[in-house]
Amino acid sequence: MRDGNCIFCKIANGEIPSATVFEDEDFRVILDLGPASKGHALILPKHHFKDLCEADPAVAAKILPLAGKVGQAMIKELRASGFNVVQNNGASAGQTVFHLHVHVIPRYDGGPLMVSWVPGGATAEELAETAEAIRRGI
Ligand code: 5GP
Ligand code: ZN
């Protein structure tokens, strides 16, 4: 399924050119136009899913192994020393393009801080109550 108004549908299916690093029947992996670091890549499913909640589980299951391959290539060929795998769902989580995609961001020694947060705190009771709420929804 494609969404005619979706830029990532057009890129994933080759209607709009992109710097492609990998392609198979399910995915196109491209370089981000606004890279957080050199080599920042986006894994785009060829089918339109708004986000992870809507994704076909069979397609979703292939994403993490592919992210691992792309990250390893960054280490080998770009001399990255690590990589982050980031996936945003919903505007509050920073999603700006509503076609499921996964960021693979190479990291270099001495590079800027990113993908980080300030650890908060929670009591054992709060953790238990929150865990129970999420368990109910799964
Ligand atoms: P999000 O914030 O939705 O997780 O990430 C969207 C990403 O897509 C951003 O990092 C942004 O730079 C990238 N992006 C947006 N439009 C385009 C485009 O037309 N081409 C490419 N290659 N990247 C894009
Ligand atoms: Zn789309």
Instruction: Say if residues 102 and 55 touch (Cβ distance below 8 Å).
Output: no
* pLDDT recorded at residue 116: 87
Query: 10: buried, middle or exposed (CB in 10 Å: 19+, 13-18, 0-12)?
Result: middle
pLDDT of residue 75: 98
The residue whose CB lies within 8 Å of the most ligand 1 atoms, and thus the one to mutate among 10, 50, 88, 97, is 97
Ligand 1 atom showing the smallest separation from residue 87 Cα: 4
Whether 97 is in the pocket of ligand 1, judged by its Cβ within 6 Å, is yes
Q: What is the pLDDT of residue 18?
A: 97
pLDDT of residue 86: 98
Q: Following CA atoms 42, 37, 109, 117 in sequence, which dihedral angle do they give, to the nearest 10 degrees?
A: -80
Whether pTM > 0.85 for this model: the answer is: yes
- The Cα–Cα gap between 127 and 124 comes to 5
Query: Facing residues of 86 across strands?
Result: 103
Q: What is the pLDDT of residue 4?
A: 81
Amino acid at 126: E
Q: Specify the pLDDT at position 16.
A: 97
Q: What is the DSSP string of the chain?
A: ---TT-HHHHHHTTSS---EEEE-SSEEEEE-SS-SSTT-EEEEESS--SSGGGS-HHHHHHHHHHHHHHHHHHHHHS--SEEEEE---SGGGT--S-S--EEEEEE-TTPPP-S--------HHHHHHHHHHHHHH-
Low-confidence ranges of the chain (pLDDT < 50): none
Of 40, 47, 99, 101, catalytic: 101
